[in-house]
Structure 1
Amino acid sequence: MDHVAAETPICSAKGCRAEAVWVIAWNNPKIHTPDRRKTWLACEEHREHLASFLGMRGFLKDVVKIQDWDFPEDV
């Protein structure tokens, strides 16, 4: 059995409980090494808002469908 949580991934937007379908990868260059990727999960409704929020700050690195994201093995 896959060790990734069997739970439904939930959107990271405040107060949202919808199923996440996107991974938004970001990095704050002031505190993270260039190769480090932090992630937020997003539903369809909040993908653009969350990506825009990070993009305005220069943190956005990638937006990928959740099934295409390579999650680390040690999660």
Structure 2
Amino acid sequence: MNIGALTGANDGAMDDSPTCSAKGCRAPAQWVLAWNNPKLHTPERRKTWLACAEHREHLSQFLGVRGFLKDVVPFAEWESRSAADG
């Protein structure tokens, strides 16, 4: 996963701390929402959105009703998995 691609995505400013992917939100990321669009992506591919506690449910529902949501993982756990995968 490329967390750096999502960092500062809401305001164009580059920052070292990942923020929520919800429009206009600058809160720190607490959750990773892993998803894919089966019409565009292979089944094993995972795209990611980051979410703060406030927007986790809204973003999950947005992806869920489209059949895109695959997993919701605490950000710290996702980072640990990514580090272990190299």
TM band (smaller chain): 0.7 to 0.9
Q: Which residue of 2 is the match for residue 10 of structure 1?
A: 19
Q: What do residues 15-42 of structure 1 show as CA deviations (whole Å, max 9, x unaligned)?
A: 0000010000000000000000000000
| TM-score under structure 1 length normalisation | 0.86
Question: What SS class does the counterpart of residue 45 from structure 1 fall into?
Answer: coil
Kindly, what percent of the aligned residue pairs are identical?
Answer: 67
Q: Unaligned stretches of 5+ in structure 1?
A: none
Aligned pair 1:55/2:64, yes or no? yes
Q: Which residue of 2 is the match for residue 43 of structure 1?
A: 52
Q: What do residues 26-74 of structure 1 show as CA deviations (whole Å, max 9, x unaligned)?
A: 000000000000000000000000000000000000000001113365x
Q: Unaligned stretches of 5+ in structure 2?
A: 5-14
Higher relative CO (Cα under 8 Å, sequence separation at least 6) belongs to 1
| Per-residue deviation, 1:8 | 1.1
The correspondence for 2:73, drawn from 34, 48, 64, is 64
RMSD: 1.8
Letter matched to residue 13 of structure 1:
A
Q: Which residue of 2 is the match for residue 24 of structure 1?
A: 33
Higher helix share: 2
Letter matched to residue 14 of structure 1:
K
How many residue pairs match? The answer is 70
Stretches (4+) displaced over 2 A: 70-73
